[in-house]
Amino acid sequence: MKPALTALGALSVVALLAGCSAAEDDSSSTPSGPGSPAPAAITGEVTVFAAASLKSTFTELGARFENDHPGTKVTLNFAGSSDLVAQLAQGAPADVLASADTTTMTRALDDGLVAGVPADFATNTLTIVTPPGNPAGIASFADLADSAVQVVVCAPQVPCGAATEKVENATGVTLTPVSEESGVTDVLGKITSGQADAGLVYVTDAASAGDRVTAIPFPESSDAVNTYPIATLTEATNPSAAQTFVGLVTGPQGREVLSAAGFGTP
């Protein structure tokens, strides 16, 4: 009986060793824990199309992105949101779109330009700006309807222009602007250069202009709050970097930078 027991014992040892080997093979095929390989590094260029009102904040966030991911380059294109969507529809290459309202982003979605579901990341409202010292004596939104006041606004197809129209409809005040601009930064430029008595821009643009303008808040602006969405694009050439950039904007660092610039939380 002893030889039989010895043979049986040897078979058990062989089986045990085989089981351990198989377990080791399984664990190596699905690595986990501290020894797991790190995710692939984000590299290469990421092109971001962003609303003009995001210029200062996205320039800062682009620099942070490049610092956090060595070997990357963020290329930023700023313009009116509707102009950006038109450029994309015509085949302009980009990885990320950040617009100044949900209407424009919906247009991009309908055109098949956007991948996935856009994420809302900020809000903004309008304010009146005048040259320093407010020489025309503007005190309210209704004052902008005075025929003696030269007013500059955004064109209706631009988010800041659409917001202006909402305020007009809510107040019953009709403006007769001397100029309708394609972007909020163009309106601001008309005021800082002294070419108009007053303009309507976002509170964040007025803040960035500092003492080059006088800002005049008006309560009716609450009738036209713009929500800013961001999304990766279907034709993105660097989707991993695009998704990571969106994560930066919608995450704590993005919130910090946007809040400091005066943007609200959606």
Model pTM score:
0.82
Please state, in angstroms and as integers, the Cα–Cα distance from residue 213 to each residue in 56, 205, 239, following that order. Answer: 17, 10, 40
Query: Residue 7 burial (CB < 10 Å; 0-12/13-18/19+)?
Result: exposed
Does some domain include residue 37? no
Domain shared by 57 and 112, yes or no: yes
Answer yes or no: is 112 within a domain. yes
CATH label of the domain that carries residue 248: 3.40.190.10
Please give the chain's pLDDT, 266 residues, in tens: 444 434 334 334 333 334 433 333 433 333 334 444 445 689 999 999 999 999 999 999 999 999 999 999 999 999 999 999 999 999 999 999 999 999 999 999 999 999 989 999 999 999 999 999 999 999 999 999 999 999 999 999 999 999 999 999 999 999 999 999 999 999 999 999 999 999 999 999 999 999 999 999 999 999 999 999 999 999 999 999 999 999 999 999 999 999 999 999 99
CA–CA dist 73, 78 (Å, integer): 16
How far apart CA 234 and CA 226 sit, in angstroms, is 25
Task: Please state the residue numbers annotated as binding site for molybdate.
Answer: 53, 81, 184, 202
Q: How many domains does the chain have?
A: 2
User: 127 with 202: CB under 8 angstroms?
Assistant: yes
Q: Distance (Å, rounded) from C-alpha 246 to C-alpha 257? A: 14
SS (H, E, C) 93-147: CCCEEECCCHHHHHHHHHCCCEEEEEEEEEEECEEEEECCCCCCCCCCCHHHHCC
Do 54 and 65 belong together in one domain? yes
Residue 192, both tokens: 């800082």
Query: Does 137 share its domain with 93?
Result: no
Task: Give the three-state DSSP class for 27.
Answer: helix
Q: 56 with 129, same domain?
A: no
Q: Is residue 196 part of a domain?
A: yes
**Structure tokens given for 105:** 């982003």
Q: Identify the domain containing residue 70 by its residue range.
A: 44-123+227-261
Q: Are residues 118 and 130 in the same domain?
A: no
Q: Strands 198-202 and 114-124, how do they pair?
A: unpaired
* 219 and 243 together in one domain: no
Binding-site positions:
53, 81, 184, 202
- Asked whether residue 21 is assigned to any structural domain, the reply reads no
Within a domain: residue 55?
yes
Nearest by Cα to 148 from 157, 158, 135, 159:
135
Residue 113 CA to chain centroid, in angstroms? 16
Question: Is residue 39 in a domain?
Answer: no
Residues 87 and 215 in one domain: no
